[in-house]
């Protein structure tokens, strides 16, 4: 089974521009989560999508947004780029994601893609 | 929201030495616990996970971790490391909000 794929792998942008990153989950996985990894802040949760709906959100400004398509592929968009947005952006997929309709904590595992290295100049 | 603390920022050891990496979290409720590894130039890979049951879990490549609920800890161990274990190791905790919170990571350098 193919793993999580992310495109592009590397991206260079300038301040003020916007960028769109793409993530294709493992086949059959319906949940996609995004993380930002930087040397100073480590790995931080951005948001999670499940069945085309944002189910969870981290503490990032509104410039960071995302969406999920009916085939579970997800895109992340960052508008008005700042120097501090330079980071490795990781996508992770899992079977189900957030808690079930019954409210119990689902016990699935997130599998990570290789990431997109974004450099903002 | 929970916080995750990894005690060591950088660990340097020789091949065949034993490794133990500490991880503590702050959340008091039900948690899922994970250790991920990031080898140089590679993406994050799952090393092992704990959901419930036996608090001693075994993962890939000879790693194991022990969940001690009373200490809010999930320490990673390997009895005898190899040069190929050189990597960055991340402890992660997931609670009811489903967000995966990561520790700052521990860089492990194994000298031949």
CB contact under 8 A, A113 and B43: yes
Cβ distance B73 to B9 under 8 Å? no
pLDDT tens profile B16-61:
999 999 999 998 788 889 999 999 989 899 999 998 889 999 999 9
Work out the minimum CA distance from B45 to partner chain A, whole angstroms. Answer: 7
Q: What is the C-alpha separation between B32 and B49, in angstroms, rounded?
A: 7
Chain A residues touching B104 at Cβ < 8 A: 42
**Which tokens is A107 given?**
């016990």
Query: Can you tell me the mean pLDDT for B78-102?
Result: 91
Task: Output B88 or B99, whichever has higher pLDDT.
Answer: B88
pLDDT score of B21? 97
Chain B residues touching A38 at Cβ < 8 A: none
**Which tokens is B44 given?**
């994050």
Instruction: Report how far apart, in Å, the C-alpha atoms of A50 and of each of A104, A115, B104 are.
Output: 16, 20, 27
The contact set of B with A (CB < 8 A) is 30, 32, 34, 36, 42-46, 49, 51-52, 90, 92, 94-105
Q: Which residues, 6+ apart, have CB-to-CB distance to A121 below 8 Å?
A: A12, A13, A14, A15, A83
pLDDT score of A93? 93
Q: Is A116 on the interface with B (CB under 8 A)?
A: no
Work out the minimum CA distance from B97 to partner chain A, whole angstroms. Answer: 8
Those residues of chain A that have pLDDT short of 50 are: 101-103
Taking one residue from A and the other from B, the number of pairs with CB-CB distance under 8 angstroms is 53
Cβ distance A121 to A17 under 8 Å? no
CB contact under 8 A, A105 and B100: no
Q: Which residues, 6+ apart, have CB-to-CB distance to B1 below 8 Å?
A: B97, B99, B101
pLDDT score of A101? 43
């Amino acid at each position: 089974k193919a793993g999580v794929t992310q495109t592009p792998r590397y991206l260079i942008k300038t301040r003020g521009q916007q960028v769109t990153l793409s993530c294709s989950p493992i086949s059959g996985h319906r949940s996609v989560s995004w993380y930002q990894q930087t040397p100073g802040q480590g790995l931080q949760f951005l948001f999670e999508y499940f069945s085309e709906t944002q189910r969870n959100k981290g503490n990032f400004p509104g410039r960071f947004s995302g969406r999920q398509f009916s085939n579970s592929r997800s895109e992340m968009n960052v508008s008005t780029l700042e120097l501090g947005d330079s980071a490795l952006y990781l996508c992770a997929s899992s079977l189900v994601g957030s808690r079930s309709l019954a409210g119990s904590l689902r016990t699935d595992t997130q599998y990570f893609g290789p990431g997109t290295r974004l450099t903002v100049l | 929201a929970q916080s995750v603390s990894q005690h060591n920022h950088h660990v340097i050891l020789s091949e065949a030495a034993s490794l133990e990496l500490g991880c503590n979290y702050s959340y008091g409720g039900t948690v899922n616990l994970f250790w991920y590894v990031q080898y140089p130039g590679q993406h994050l890979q799952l090393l092992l996970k704990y959901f419930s049951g036996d608090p001693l879990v075994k993962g890939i490549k000879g790693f194991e971790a022990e969940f001690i609920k009373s200490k809010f800890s999930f320490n990673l161990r390997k009895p005898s490391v190899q040069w190929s274990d050189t990597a960055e190791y991340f402890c992660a905790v997931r609670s009811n909000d489903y967000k995966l919170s990561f520790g700052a990571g521990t860089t492990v350098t194994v000298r031949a």
